Structure 1
Amino acid sequence: QEFQDRPALHRNITLRNIVENFLSSQPDQAGTDVFCTYCVDSPVPAVKSCLLCEASLCDKHLSVHKRSPAHVLSDPSTSMEKRKCSIHKEKILEYYCTEDSACICVSCCLIGEHRGHQMKSLNEASKKRKNKLKNVLQKLVTKREETEEILQSLQEHVGTVEEKATAERKRVTLLLGDLRKQLEDLEKRVLSEISKQAEEVSRSVNDLVQRMEIKKDELSRKMVHIEELCNMMDPLTILQESDKGDLRDTEDEDNEDRERHGQFLHDGGGLDVAEISRTLQAGLSCIMKEANEKIYIPEPADILLDVNTACNSLNISDDRKTVSYLPNQKSPETPERFKVYPQVLSTQSFSSGQHYWEVDVERSQIWSVGMCYPSINRSGCHSEIGWNNKSWGLHKSWLNNQYSVLYNRNWIRLFGKVSSNRVRIYLDYEAGQISFYDLCDPIQHLHTFNATFTEPLHAVLWVGGGCVKICRENHICEESNQLMMTS
């Protein structure tokens, strides 16, 4: 385009907005302030931007700006293009299509692909979206707080475990150090006894050797004398010399020598091996007794069943040690009683320490044993042992004698089976462990649950047939105690 006279210069607002949009997208942009488009002498911060004019306005220029619906004002922005319709290029995005979840212009509403759809103004849609976001934010805040609590609990648990491990290392080191010293002392005593006996035997053997040497020399002398007599021709001399005592038979002395010789060769070389073994066994027994006294083994818990919690399909023995499956028991209604599943709790609960108890399951083909919180539901499909986050159990099914452990509706099948009729349940409350053992020979560890307990724990039994009995006398097994302490 040609002009006769040089025209006056005008600000190219569109080009300016393009440049500002480009600069705002740069990663090293120094600041994010938006300035008034019309204040050319000095930069003045904008308070609004007009989407139609593609200009940013300060308070002064905003007061004289056109007030019409077409001039849509927004918060100050350096980028205007993202506020325009991508289809109808010059149209401003003013509405929100709730059906397509899209920001659209008035042309999209009237003649575009969104015609006839449900619409909302951007402000209305934005307000509703903010409310949803606030709800989401609140949930996220709650979840973050729960996560922080769990994280803190886990960190505290790690610290507790490490403290306990340090104390256990020290205790075990001192115990084994003491045992090594006692074993070394016992070794010295036994070796000293062996040396003492060996010296006594050696002395006796040396005495016999000297005697045999003397006997050998005497026999040689007699042999020479007899040979001389045999070579003599004078009968009188032969008869007189042969009647002397030193040429007579010494059979009794020979038998005694043979007996002593046999003892040395065939009776342990003269060592009293039995006495040595007795000394060694007595020393080892004393050491083991002292070691067992220093190793903490919890006393078995005296479990009694709570008749007020027993389901109506269960019968509890008078001593409250045996539970039998016997439907249609007319027990009085109590809040604590299980309504659906044949279960019963113990009267005792445990909120600290180490405890164990044993059950005889020989007379039942389908059962569960374990531990649970007192807050376990008494009715409903999730009130069964292992079908909630309040109980841990070992279950035997009548189908193919299958065994499983259960917690929070998660099943872990145990390959193999309980080969004995006795099961031990072991609780370490502070360590957060519930362990199950088959008391066969040797004892077999079945499974250990790890958790962070938040309530006291009760013993719980589920009996679907026959009866299960809580053992009065606990199974004595050194290996079982060792396994229990290392579970």
Structure 2
Amino acid sequence: MSAASCLLSEDQFLCSICLDVFTDPVTTPCGHNFCKNCINEHWNSNDQYLCPLCKETFNTRPKLHINTLLSEMVSHSSEQQAAKPGEVPCDVCTGTKLKALKSCLVCLTSYCETHLEPHLTKSGLKRHQLIDPVKNLEDRMCMKHDKPLELFCKTDQTCVCMLCSVLDHKTHEFVPLKEEYEGKKAELGKTEAEIQEMIQKRRLKIQEIKHSVDLSKEAADREKAEGVQVFTALMESVERSLNELIETIEEKQRTTEKQAEDFIKALEQEISELKKRSSEVEKLSHSEDHLHLLQNFLSLKAAPPTKDWTEVSICPSYEGTVVRAVAQLEEMLSKQMKKQFEAQLKRVQQYAVDVTLDPDTANPWLILSDDGKQVYCGDVKKNLPDNPERFSVCANVLGKQSLSSGRFYFEVQVKEKTEWNLGVARESINRKGQFTATQHNGFWNICLRNGNEYSARNNPQVDLSLKSRPQKVGVFVDYEEGLVCFYDVDAAALIYSFTGCSFTEKLYPFFSPSLNYGGKNSAPLIICPVNQTV
């Protein structure tokens, strides 16, 4: 008997009167089942008590008995879910397809919980292989031999049936599907673990990036606050200097006006006296009295006492007033800038790294200290292996430490040297033959030539005008920002910045003590510990 025939079909759960699933199923004396309400209404509306199915007539209204077994089966069936779109339906159910619980690889059929029961209880069916429900079970049959795919051909990496193993793949290596399944499942377990590890790494990277964004925001807010403070102070200083300049000019103008007013008052006083004398002289000159004229002639002939105004003038001068005010403002701004560079230098010093020289990159003419902190050019070329990392011609050496992200900072003493190059270089730079250490060639550095000629090896070269001769140079790199800055550590001043750089590979500290020049340039470049007390 097949699995389907030993179970009730879905139609047997339907009432023949309402054609719906039984509600309170009852059994008539003739053995047929109906909903209790359906059969009662049927008999209430007819003169005879007939069975709607077999038409058997009952003389009196039969006593109905509840069908306990059918009630339980209907209740159990109703608890099972109908298959939703995308889910595997039961192949045995008619009408509403219930959700399949298992698929049989032998029967090539999917079963709901009810129709699966024979596979769980019948000894012959218990040996069948059950799996989680899958669609298209026919795909599990060999298309050529119409046999179940039971073996795995390791040679061709494909699933085959028993006939395939003796006909088309007879010389190949086979294993049961279950064995290959276990192996592949173990591999998938490793793959899953690797994927989970990759996911975890990326989650950590997300956290790292978010943390970096938070730090960046904090730094941005701090920088904005500091910028507002600095520029507010600068604007206040400029406004104060402007007000002082205007007050100075206006005070000088008030003094000029007061002086002019005093001069005019004195002149007007003298004019008044002269007019009075002129009137007296005119009057005397018209006198007919000889005695009177002669007696007053001497007193009127002499001019009244007056000031000599020949050298008196009003010549206010404002020349130099603005120049002096600007000079004072420039001095104040210079002091303010110095404070800012001191603060900036202190911040970048937080990224100090312990740099040591890499002897495998050193030109054979260079002499390195045992601790890898000093380098100068000797008088004798050493016999060293010409490995790919070594500078063969130019007197250069790199640091051992590299940077491919983030920031780093180091300081180098250049005291008593007349020539040097200092900065960073990318990993792929040319190390053989003669070349110029410019940005175009993968170097970001500044240099000293002829004792007092400083320049930045940009494209083109930028000559630098420095107020003082640096004794110690600080080098700061921000990889993501594409920034390389050089500082005069003692003066807490910015020497030069390479901005907008595009870094795509490792960067190494770069040093060139230059040639010895007969001892004139024998002082070493010295990598110094960073003292963060600026």
Shift of 1:159: 1.7
Between the aligned partners of 1:182 and 1:462, the Cα distance in structure 2 is 42
Of 495, 498, 518, which aligns to 1:445? 498
Bigger-Rg structure (1/2): 2
Q: Does 1:417 align with 2:460?
A: yes
Shift of 1:73: 2.2
2:54 — aligned with what?
Answer: none
Q: Structure 1 residues 203, 368: CA separation in 2 closer, same or farther (over 3 Å shift)?
A: closer
Query: Which amino acid letter does the alignment assign opposite residue 182 of structure 2?
Result: K
> For each residue in 1:402-445, what CA deviation from the matched residue of structure 2 results, as whole angstroms up to 9, or x when unmatched?
634479xxxxxx97133348996532789998614599x99452
Shift of 1:170: 2.8
Q: Does 1:398 align with 2:435?
A: yes
Query: Aligned to 1:213, what secondary structure does the other structure show?
Result: helix
Between the aligned partners of 1:53 and 1:306, the Cα distance in structure 2 is 72
Q: Does 1:296 align with 2:346?
A: no
- TM-score of the superposition, structure 2-length normalised? 0.53
Query: Which amino acid letter does the alignment assign opposite residue 85 of structure 2?
Result: Q
Query: Aligned to 2:509, what secondary structure does the other structure show?
Result: strand
1:174 — aligned with what?
Answer: 229
2:220 — aligned with what?
Answer: 165
2:197 — aligned with what?
Answer: 142
Shift of 1:401: 5.7
Q: Does 1:26 align with 2:73?
A: no
**Which consecutive unaligned segments of at least 5 residues does structure 1 have?**
1-9, 17-22, 371-384, 408-413, 473-487
Q: Does 1:49 align with 2:104?
A: yes
Indicate if the aligned counterparts of 1:94 and 1:122 stay in contact, CA closer than 8 A.
yes
Between the aligned partners of 1:231 and 1:395, the Cα distance in structure 2 is 116
- TM-score of the superposition, structure 1-length normalised? 0.57
Between the aligned partners of 2:266 and 2:244, the Cα distance in structure 1 is 33
Q: Structure 1 residues 306, 98: CA separation in 2 closer, same or farther (over 3 Å shift)?
A: closer
Shift of 1:197: 2.4
Q: Does 1:387 align with 2:441?
A: no
2:16 — aligned with what?
Answer: none
Of 64, 78, 81, which aligns to 2:124? 64
Between the aligned partners of 1:244 and 1:185, the Cα distance in structure 2 is 62
Between the aligned partners of 1:279 and 1:181, the Cα distance in structure 2 is 15
Indicate if the aligned counterparts of 1:307 and 1:316 stay in contact, CA closer than 8 A.
no
Query: Aligned to 1:260, what secondary structure does the other structure show?
Result: coil
Q: Does 1:79 align with 2:110?
A: no
Q: Structure 1 residues 12, 470: CA separation in 2 closer, same or farther (over 3 Å shift)?
A: farther
Between the aligned partners of 1:78 and 1:62, the Cα distance in structure 2 is 23
1:426 — aligned with what?
Answer: 475
Shift of 1:207: 1.3
Query: Aligned to 1:103, what secondary structure does the other structure show?
Result: strand
Between the aligned partners of 2:165 and 2:307, the Cα distance in structure 1 is 138
> For each residue in 1:225-249, what CA deviation from the matched residue of structure 2 results, as whole angstroms up to 9, or x when unmatched?
7888999999999998876566659
Query: Aligned to 2:475, what secondary structure does the other structure show?
Result: strand
Query: Which amino acid letter does the alignment assign opposite residue 159 of structure 2?
Result: C
Indicate if the aligned counterparts of 1:394 and 1:404 stay in contact, CA closer than 8 A.
no
Q: Structure 1 residues 204, 362: CA separation in 2 closer, same or farther (over 3 Å shift)?
A: same
**Which consecutive unaligned segments of at least 5 residues does structure 2 have?**
11-81, 392-396, 445-456, 489-493, 527-534
Query: Which amino acid letter does the alignment assign opposite residue 419 of structure 1?
Result: V
Indicate if the aligned counterparts of 2:151 and 2:176 stay in contact, CA closer than 8 A.
yes
TM alignment of 1:34-433, pairs within 5 A: 49-52=104-107, 54=109, 56=111, 57-58=116-117, 59-65=119-125, 73-77=129-133, 79-85=135-141, 87-88=143-144, 90-98=146-154, 100-106=156-162, 108=164, 119-216=174-271, 248=303, 253-255=308-310, 259-261=311-313, 264-265=314-315, 267-268=316-317, 273-274=319-320, 278=324, 281-282=327-328, 285-286=331-332, 288-289=334-335, 292-293=338-339, 296-298=343-345, 309=359, 311=362, 313-316=364-367, 322-324=375-377, 328-329=381-382, 340-342=389-391, 343=397, 345=399, 357=412, 369-370=423-424, 386-387=426-427, 398=435, 403-405=440-442, 416-420=459-463, 426-427=475-476
> For each residue in 1:102-128, what CA deviation from the matched residue of structure 2 results, as whole angstroms up to 9, or x when unmatched?
43444555566x676655432233233
Shift of 1:168: 2.9
Q: Structure 1 residues 253, 430: CA separation in 2 closer, same or farther (over 3 Å shift)?
A: same
Aligned identity (percent) is 11
Q: How many residues align?
A: 395
Shift of 1:156: 1.8
Q: Quote the RMSD (CA, aligned, Å).
A: 6.0
Indicate if the aligned counterparts of 2:485 and 2:498 stay in contact, CA closer than 8 A.
yes
Q: Structure 1 residues 446, 111: CA separation in 2 closer, same or farther (over 3 Å shift)?
A: same
Query: Aligned to 1:341, what secondary structure does the other structure show?
Result: coil
